[in-house]
Structures are given as C-alpha cells and as structure tokens.
Amino acid sequence: MDNTSLNAREKQILSYIVADYISTGKPVSSRSLSRHQGIDLSPATIRNVMADLEEKGYIFQPHISAGRIPSDLGYRFYVDNMMHLQELTLREKKRIREQYQQEISELDNILRDTSLLLSKISDKIGVALVPHLEKDIITCFTFVPVSSNRLLAVLVTRSGMIKEHLFRITGPLVREALDQVNRYVNDLVVGLSVEEALRLLKESDMFSIGAFMLDIVREQLKKSLEDEKKVYVGGLVDFFQKKAGNESGEEFLSEEILARVLACHDENGREKSLAVTIGAENRIQALQEFTLITRSFHIPEGLQGKIAIVAEKRVNYGRIISLLDYTGQILEEMMDDIFKED
C-alpha cells in the first residue's frame, strides 16, 4: 500500500478508528475520537477527515446512525503502515517451547499438535500444511504382512513423515520372498528423494522383483505426494460457536477449503515467509469475511510447509502475527535439532 495516499491527519484518524474498533467491536464516531488525548482536533475537523477517509474507501458506515468501521482497505493500510507487533508473554513463550520439547514424533503428529496449539493460544483457527514431499529423503520403505492377502506399505522420510497404505495382493505371501523384496526396494530407493525414487522406478528392471511389487512401490510414492496437501485444523468448530455465534459456520469454512487456500498460497508466495490476506484479498469466497495470516516454516533438505491462523478481520494483528512468527521459529529449531540427531 502506498504510504503517501493519506495525509498525516488521515493516517492519525484511521489509526485510531482501526485500533478502537479492534478493541471494542463498536463503530467509531467523531465524538468518541475527539475525546482521545492524542487527537488535538475539533469534532468538526474529525468529521471532515472521516468523510475523506470514507470517500477514499478506508472506512464505511455499517448502518444509518452508526459510526464508522474499517474496510478491508483500511485494515490493509493499518497492517502495512501503522501496526506495532505485540510481544508474547513469557508464559506464552514457555508454553510454546514446552510443546515442542516434548514432541519427539512423526511430522504429521507435530503439525496436528501445532494447529491445536495455535488455536488454543490465539482463540482462533489454527492451521498447519504438511510440507512438500518431492525433495524429502526416503529413509525406509518396507512391506508388512497384515493378512494372507494384504500388505501394508510403509514409507518413512527424513523429515519424520510416515506414510502407510494398505494393498491387496493375489496369491499367498511367502515371508522369505517378502524379505527379499524389502531388501531390494530399500537398496533401490533409500537415500533418494521421493521424486528421484519415482523417476528411477520408471527405468528399473521390473523383473528383478516382479512388476506387481514395483507397481505397489510406485503407487505408495504417488499416494504420498497426493497426501502432501493435507492440512491439520484446530479450533474450527469452537471458533464459530464462540466468536461468530454460528454453530454451523464450519460447514462453509471447511478443512478442504483451508487446504486449497494454503496450497494456493504455497504455490504463489513461497518467497514470502509471512503474509496477511484480509477479506476480499482472499480468492476463495468462504474466506472473504476473515483474515488469513500465514508463515512458512523451513526444514533441512529444502522442505517447506506453512502454519496459519484464520481470524475475524477485527483481530489484534500485532499479537497474532507475533504468535505465528514465534511458533514458526520454535518449530524450525526443533526440526533442525531432529535432523542434527540423524
């Protein structure tokens, strides 16, 4: 947003309007603004400034006889030019650190717990997007017999991702043959990235272990890449029940919608570590009444995922951004430690 599009008085009045509305949830009048100690302007002058802000699209009147509230444009200007980050409390920082100190688990569980943690601390919707797996290094691939005609294919990657899929086979399982297959597959793919393994399997001699078994390996790797757009969402139902007063609102803002939104953010904004999209800036209609704040997190080996908070547009941006950024930092530190141990 161009910081020169508003003069000094307009910036001052807009800042107070946004801050007051975020704090109280009530439309802001010229009379209430004139009582602020920091504003040395007459009510008439304030009314004129507010009229100019309304004409420029930064504020609007929600209904007749009401004061003014920020538009999406007003919130955007405030976030870009006037917002101050709010330091987390020592208690909040301790809570986040303790969460990850006790997390020695697979990445799926860590991200699920992260979404719940963000939701509980912010009282909003917490979201975590599983990282891209193409570059993730395979550390183990094994087949586990679960019945006479079913195999569980298990893929483990260096980031801590564990993917399991059940396959039905024809004919009896021979343990010695299965052990041979496991050795062959591990020799073939361990140490490669998922995308390298897929490419190699296209060129491999299928008759070494049988076309069917290699097809299963291929299918497992493909399914793992399909799963990578999975998101974990915390607090979705509670948010609508407590904040929006709408018990069925989660039907309109589902996990599937959030997965699509974050995947889109991931593809179009991978260079931006932290991003705030407000109201109509969100491409998907279900999100246009909300603010989406996202932060990328990076894992060694070039992997990247995202964590996010979905909130009302009337939210304490400085606090939520600080919460998301700090959580991302601690998450990255924990993942770095896990990789060092490896």
Q: In sequence order, which residues have a C-beta less than 8 Å from that of residue 98 and are 6 or more positions away? A: none
Q: What are the φ/ψ torsions at residue 64 (nearest 5 degrees)?
A: -60, 140
Instruction: Report the pLDDT value the prediction gives residue 9, as an integer from 0 to 100.
Output: 94
**119 within 8 A of 250, measured Cβ to Cβ:** no
Element spanning 67, H or E: none
Instruction: Report the pLDDT value the prediction gives residue 247, as an integer from 0 to 100.
Output: 45
Instruction: Report the pLDDT value the prediction gives residue 325, as an integer from 0 to 100.
Output: 96
For the chain, which domains are there?
3-82 (1.10.10.10), 90-131+229-341 (3.30.450.40), 138-227 (3.30.390.60)
Instruction: Report the pLDDT value the prediction gives residue 248, as an integer from 0 to 100.
Output: 44
Q: Tell me, what amino acid is at 156?
A: V
Strands 59-60, 231-234: parallel, antiparallel or unpaired by DSSP? unpaired
**275 within 8 A of 291, measured Cβ to Cβ:** no
Instruction: Report the pLDDT value the prediction gives residue 210, as an integer from 0 to 100.
Output: 57
* pLDDT values of the chain reduced to their tens digit, one per residue, 342 residues: 555 589 999 999 999 999 999 999 999 999 899 988 788 888 899 999 999 999 999 999 988 877 999 999 999 999 999 999 999 999 999 999 998 887 566 778 889 999 999 999 999 999 998 777 777 888 998 888 888 778 888 888 887 778 888 888 777 777 887 888 888 888 888 999 888 888 887 766 554 555 666 677 777 777 766 665 678 999 988 888 776 554 444 556 777 777 777 766 655 545 458 999 999 998 888 888 999 999 998 877 667 888 999 999 999 999 999 999 999 999 998 888 776 665
Confidence (pTM): 0.80
Give the residue from 57, 188, 164 showing the smallest Cα distance to 108. 164
End-to-end C-alpha distance for the chain, whole angstroms: 45
- Tokens 């920091």 belong to residue: 38
Give, to the nearest 10 degrees, the angle between helix 107-122 and helix 317-341.
160
Q: What are the φ/ψ torsions at residue 312 (nearest 5 degrees)?
A: -65, 160
